[in-house]
């Protein structure tokens, strides 16, 4: 892999502090570290969880779940992104003590065949459809699901899972409560045959809003990485103080004047209306920095914000340096996310890009070089 010009730094102490803040809610947690821990690095995330004594983790694929195990995490690992598993997937799950998420009959039949063939026990997670309209068994199927699992003694459901659709929107509280009702009715059916099965319904918003039962294993996601899923609602701040985990910097590679009526970049989308000083930063859309940011998009140099101007190129972005008290030089660090002073947050970048912080960290985190 060729090292990118931009540098992504992960503050794992902040990750730890965010988990400690969420643990104050009194629930067991299953931190979601899928998609390479939202771009932050799944192996180091797994090591922190192990060091903290966390008993559950949620990864993406079976292969990513195996990476979590190989990183030293000793607790239960649920692979949330489970298709109908191939026999080799089930072998890996049995070998590494992973729990694939089973959400349809094809998957349940495939995993049952595989454990019979290899004659090995496997704990699985069962997905209930409660109103997300995505994956899972419907409430009216749960009796048959329980019977089918009970018919294969090598299988045991260790946890039932579902996913809130709008728990982060206080105006949709009634829908969230409806999802809770469906989920726990499904769990009551499963518990008749599997009384030790755990339940995991709450996401970050569900955790802080108190929707789930006290024995629910909540699955926080974006809050682990320092961002509030309730942002912009009447309940903003309900998660408590959170610390951003990722910062991204890139070097300034050119500083030069831009005269009145001159333009910058492809498409000539910015033309100077006065004498300006501009700089080019070594980050672009190939590095996950969006090509067409909204007006007002900024980066930071020496803790001071500078506007992004013109069209973002593949590996370069132009900033307006005119109003800086001190002129920076090529090689100086430009902070795209985080850093000292008036730092840009992932929430702000998300607003400028018309997206959510999840996408921001996943896009920029792909430039992370393990240290």
| Residue 127 appears among annotated catalytic residues | no
Beta strands in the chain (DSSP E): 7-10, 56-59, 76-79, 98-102, 122-127, 155-161, 198-200, 246-258, 263-264, 270-271, 276-281, 298-301, 304-309, 317-320, 333-337
Task: State phi, psi for 198 to the nearest 5 degrees.
Answer: -90, 170
Inter-residue contact 284 to 314 (CB < 8 Å): yes
- Point out the catalytic residue in the list 24, 34, 96, 127: 34
Query: Is 224 exposed, middle or buried (CB count within 10 Å of its CB: 0-12, 13-18, 19+)?
Result: buried
| Placement of tokens 């672009």 in the chain | 284
Q: How far apart are the first and last CA of the chain?
A: 14
Q: Which residue out of 214, 266, 335, 366 is catalytically annotated?
A: 266
The length of the chain in residues reads: 371
Q: Active-site residue 266, yes or no?
A: yes
Query: Residues 164, 181: contact at Cβ < 8 Å?
Result: no
- Nearest-CA neighbor of 31 among 276, 164, 208, 200? 200
| C-alpha to C-alpha distances, 217 to 24, 80, 160, nearest whole angstrom | 14, 15, 10
In the block, residue with structure tokens 């990476």: 67
Helix 87-96 / helix 62-70 crossing angle, nearest 10 deg: 20
239: tokens are 């998660």
Active site residues: 34, 266
């Amino acid at each position: 892999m060729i090292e990118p010009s931009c540098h992504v730094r992960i503050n794992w102490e902040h990750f730890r502090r965010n988990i400690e803040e969420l643990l104050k809610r009194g629930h067991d947690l299953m931190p979601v570290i899928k998609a390479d821990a939202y771009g932050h690095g799944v192996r180091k995330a797994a090591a922190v969880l192990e060091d903290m004594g966390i008993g559950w983790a949620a990864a993406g694929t079976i292969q990513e779940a195996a990476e979590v195990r190989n990183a030293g995490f000793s607790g239960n690992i649920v692979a949330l992104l489970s298709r109908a598993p191939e026999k080799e997937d089930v072998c890996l799950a049995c070998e590494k003590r992973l729990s694939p998420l089973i959400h349809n009959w094809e998957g349940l039949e495939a995993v049952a065949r595989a454990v019979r063939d290899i004659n090995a026990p496997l704990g699985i997670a069962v997905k209930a459809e409660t109103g997300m309209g995505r994956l899972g068994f419907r409430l009216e199927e749960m009796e048959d699901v329980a019977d089918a699992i009970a018919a294969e003694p090598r299988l045991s459901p260790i946890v039932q899972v579902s996913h809130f659709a709008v728990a982060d929107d206080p105006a949709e509280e009634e829908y969230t409560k409806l999802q809770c009702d469906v989920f726990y009715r499904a769990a009551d059916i499963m518990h008749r045959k599997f009384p030790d099965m755990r339940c995991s319904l709450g996401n970050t918003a569900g955790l802080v809003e108190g929707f789930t039962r006290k024995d629910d294993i909540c699955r926080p996601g974006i809050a682990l990485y320092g961002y509030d899923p309730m942002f912009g609602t009447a309940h903003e701040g309900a998660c408590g103080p959170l610390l951003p985990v990722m910062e991204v910097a890139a070097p300034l590679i050119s500083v030069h004047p831009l005269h009145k009526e001159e333009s910058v970049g492809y498409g000539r989308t910015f033309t100077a209306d006065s004498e300006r000083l501009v700089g080019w930063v070594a980050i672009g859309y190939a590095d996950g920095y969006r090509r067409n940011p909204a007006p007002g998009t900024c980066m930071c140099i020496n803790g001071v914000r500078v506007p992004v101007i013109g069209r973002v190129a593949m590996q370069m972005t132009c900033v307006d340096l005119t109003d800086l008290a001190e002129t920076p030089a090529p090689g100086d660090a430009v902070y795209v996310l985080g850093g000292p002073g008036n730092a840009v947050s992932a929430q702000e970048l998300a607003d400028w890009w018309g997206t959510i912080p999840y996408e921001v960290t996943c896009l920029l985190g792909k430039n992370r070089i393990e240290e």
